[in-house]
Structure 1
Amino acid sequence: MAFADLRAQLTRDHTITDWDPEDRVAWDNGNAAIAKRNLIWSVICEHVGFSIWSLFSVMALFMGPEYGISTDQKFVIAATATLVGSCLRIPYTQATARFGGRNWAIFSAVVLLIPTGLTMMLMMNPGEFGFGWFLAVAAITGFGGGNFASSMTNINAFYPQRLKGWALGLNAGGGNIGVPVVQVIGLLVIWLFADQPEIVCAIYLVALAVAGIGAAVYMDNLDHQTASGRAMIDCLKYRDTWLICLLYIGTFGSFIGFGFAFGQVLNISFTAAGVAKPALAAAQIVWIGPLLGSVIRPYGGKLADRVGGGKVTLYTFIAMVFSAAILVVAGTIADNNGKTITGATLTAFIIGFILLFLLSGLANGSVYKIIPTIWEHKARTQSGLNSLGKTKWSRSMSGALIGIAGAAGGLGGVGINLVLRASYQTNKSATMAFWVFMLFYVLAAVVTWWFYARRPIVLAETTDLSVAGTPEGEARSGDDGAPTGVASEGTDKQATKEALA
């Protein structure tokens, strides 16, 4: 039976036409299962991509003096991987519309075999390759960071408005878990095999092959993906685009930035505290924060579906201010005590960072819920478009902002690594960086309250409706004005209220 199912998946047509997630009858009679299947393999591909993107957060723990890489250079390596992954999110957002979600998922998994194999080569030959080599290979691992944008844009097109918060949160959270998983695998390798980091790379070569084959067998291409270069340019004309980017720097930027840097901060702190095996001690803890932040992300989206993305985001940023304050207080006490790291200081550092991971994961989901709601609301003002045109415009702008915000959030991770590097260079501690983080969260909380939490955005009726039999002369695309027709009429015409606050 299983073989027959596999054969059917291999031989079927992987292109879907006239996909309308808002048609509840079609959704309940098979479309939900199709969307779920694509979501599962999208999560797997994105998950492995995140692991490769954060591969050097683990390799840094293996890189002893024999590699000739300083602590300062390790922060630069992490920042480089984060920077490239962030920048690639812009073109990756367009890739699903141009090449198809299934096709691009296959490519994005296979291409990561290159940096994984090169990382294995570097780690198996300590001292034979200089800083430039590590920098270049770390840059190529950044392709794993781009996976997020293409995956999110793809899933955004599969799910109806009423389920986007949960679906996008689950997709992103499953991907984010790639960070703690690679760190747990690194811990097991350090514990069991000590100085054989190439084992981590070998595991992920297999995982990438599985992800690529699974995407080829089970995923689909939609014929009306709506992300476009024009939509990205149009997005930049709206104030909300810049505001969402700022908020996402504080949420995802915190998650991925701390994901890369937390292990190094712990390693430095354990070394200063005189722990015998600081790398092993750091590896035992470093995965906890990213895991909690990843697991809670879908619930951030689900909570936002229920009470509003603006309200959830606001309360989360307020909590992040207090969490960062724990780091500030602990760091200041250590600085005033001759840079001495005590057991109490270490405990405070761990608690503060884990809280920030948890809260940033929660807000990741809630911020992404705000995105489709913003464009759904703005679509009502597009008087030159009919119902179908408004639908396409809203989806196109949502997909574009997902990519732009994802890139901006990744750049926040670059900033975290560079600020920490500067803080250690200047003060031999991370306290200055902790102050910067706390003040940024204050700014983000104020922006969220002023623009998204004071007043709700009310959507009286969703525009995500297909219009049956629309004459070609009337149908207009939000992307390029090309006429478009659809086969069925959505049935989800009940009044809805998508309140941001």
Structure 2
Amino acid sequence: MSVASETVKPPGDPKGRWIADWDPEDRGFWRERGSRIAHRNLWSSIFAEHVGFSVWSLWSVLVLFMTPETGFSFSAEQKFLLISVVSFVGAVLRVPYTLAVPRFGGRNWTLISVGVLLVPTALAVVLVQRPDTPFWVFLVLAATAGLGGGNFSSSMANINFYFPERKKGWALGLNAGGGNIGVATVQLVGLAVIAAFTVDAGHLVPLFYVPFLLLALWVAWRHMDNLSGARADVGAQIAATRDRDFWIMALLYVGTFGSFIGFGFAFGLLLQNQFDRTPLEAAAVTFIGPALGSLIRPVGGWLADRFGGARVTLWNFVAMAAGTGLVVHAVAQGSLTLFVLSFGALFVLTGLGNGSTYKMIPTIYAAKAEDLISRGTPRDQAVADTKRIASSMLGLIGAVGAFGGVAINLVFREAFRSTGSATPAFAAFLCFYVVCVAVTYFVYLRTPTATRPVDKAAEPATP
């Protein structure tokens, strides 16, 4: 049985609390010590990731306060550019943040990644009260807030090391959901501030998160650990990018998670600029969509288990295309009620799609393992090799998917700049979802091969 020590430090690294040996697959070790340590790190990680995700989403709320009444003269396209920059930085940082956990330790990197967020959050408190600040300064400040977007990947990578294979789905699902719902949380904070203190008190939103960042630092310092045995599998990541299924699944995840984060950032601005809603009226409903999308994500995984990942993903994209068509109709008719209802349905569908697309990945590689075995590769080797690539692919696809949020807000920006309406943007999204329907059907359902039985059970192969 492996023995875990919470005080052993690796040679050459005198700082931090390190665990020298860790074997969660050993059921005796897991029952006696591992489960307690892993869950302590999980709940601490969820809190730190949630706060980081909230800071990443901060500017989706702050732009609602930037109105002529508060002294700001930013156009709709400038505001969409602000939230696009935040999305872009968060997406870019997801890969290096994943690699940072094995290099520095999960506890240490959580302390670093949360600590740096104090800078953009504190600066936002000051600058939001100064509307004469040049736009480029706000762009730089928004970019630094994008650091919070990388926390998702480092948190997921860290928790992945703690749990045995049989429990990773549950643990990673909790971790992901706890982070994603930060989009809704920060929007609720914005609603509370506007309702209680009017639109002139935008600086109170980032100020609200300063003590929570400090609390997250204390929780990480007190309750988290580093695993000296954690290793970054760069070779598997490189191998994953050479696989065509990586690029296909990345495209589908751009359609689901990219839509979730892009719509979450843009919802309030759309209500303000398309339907002339006040900041209070916009903030009163913006949190609903991201909350629904976050909470429904596990249901997408459950449906994929029951009916097959590809089948659920296919019909989910069909529904997303139909829902986008309703949004286009609502904008054309100027119907706020239909817009909110249909856009809310889109958020639910993005959450379902997040769960079902992620479930497709281990199934694809379980099938690849069986294909290798049928060609003479020893079963243990085939399963181990494909599992390495599939695990690396999960993190990389999450990084690529975040770029979908960048694209969505840039498309909105161009639509308002060119026509003053979001209609062309939604028409473009509808076409993209139709492409995703076609890709899912023709690659994974119409002619499934031995390497693509993703319409069946969504559990990976085991030796």
How far residue 437 of structure 1 moved from its aligned partner, in angstroms, is 1.0
Corresponding position: 1:267 with 2:257: no
Give the distance between the partners of 1:19 and 1:388, measured in 2 at CA.
22
Corresponding position: 1:45 with 2:48: yes
Alignment partner, residue 263 of structure 2: 258
Choose from 343, 349, 356 the match for 1:359.
Answer: 349
How do residues 192-203 of structure 1 correspond to structure 2 at under 5 angstroms?
192-194=196-198, 195-203=200-208
Tell me which amino acid in the other structure corresponds to 1:67: F
How far residue 459 of structure 1 moved from its aligned partner, in angstroms, is 9.2
- CA RMSD in angstroms comes to 2.7
Tell me which amino acid in the other structure corresponds to 1:19: W
Alignment partner, residue 338 of structure 2: 348
Q: Which runs of 5+ in 1 are unaligned?
A: 1-8, 335-340, 465-492, 494-501
> Which whole-Å deviations, capped at 9, do the CAs of 1:77-103 have from their partners, x for residues lacking one?
111110111011111111112122222
**Does the 8 Å contact 1:165/1:305 carry over to 2?**
no
Alignment partner, residue 166 of structure 1: 170
Tell me which amino acid in the other structure corresponds to 2:357: V
The count of aligned residue pairs is 441
**Does the 8 Å contact 1:52/1:112 carry over to 2?**
yes
How do residues 37-436 of structure 1 correspond to structure 2 at under 5 angstroms?
37-65=40-68, 66-127=71-132, 129-194=133-198, 195-271=200-276, 278-332=278-332, 334=333, 341=334, 345-379=335-369, 381=372, 393-394=385-386, 396-436=388-428
Q: Which runs of 5+ in 2 are unaligned?
A: 10-16
Tell me which amino acid in the other structure corresponds to 2:397: A
Choose from 13, 19, 36 the match for 1:16.
Answer: 19
> Which whole-Å deviations, capped at 9, do the CAs of 1:173-232 have from their partners, x for residues lacking one?
110100010000001001111111221111111111111221222223233334333322
**Percent identity among equivalent residues?**
48
Give the distance between the partners of 1:81 and 1:425, measured in 2 at CA.
20
Distance 1:297 1:123, change over 3 A: same
Residue 93 of structure 2 aligns to a residue whose secondary structure is helix
Alignment partner, residue 14 of structure 2: none
**Does the 8 Å contact 1:168/1:301 carry over to 2?**
no
- How high is the TM-score relative to the length of structure 2? 0.87
Give the distance between the partners of 2:45 and 2:378, measured in 1 at CA.
32
Tell me which amino acid in the other structure corresponds to 2:348: L
Tell me which amino acid in the other structure corresponds to 1:49: G
> Which whole-Å deviations, capped at 9, do the CAs of 1:403-429 have from their partners, x for residues lacking one?
321221111111111111111222221
**Does the 8 Å contact 2:305/2:457 carry over to 1?**
no
Distance 1:461 1:435, change over 3 A: closer
Give the distance between the partners of 1:376 and 1:220, measured in 2 at CA.
32
**Does the 8 Å contact 2:312/2:356 carry over to 1?**
yes
**Does the 8 Å contact 2:90/2:150 carry over to 1?**
yes
Give the distance between the partners of 2:156 and 2:445, measured in 1 at CA.
25
Residue 67 of structure 1 aligns to a residue whose secondary structure is coil
- Residues 366-375 or 323-332, more deviating: 366-375
Distance 1:393 1:45, change over 3 A: farther
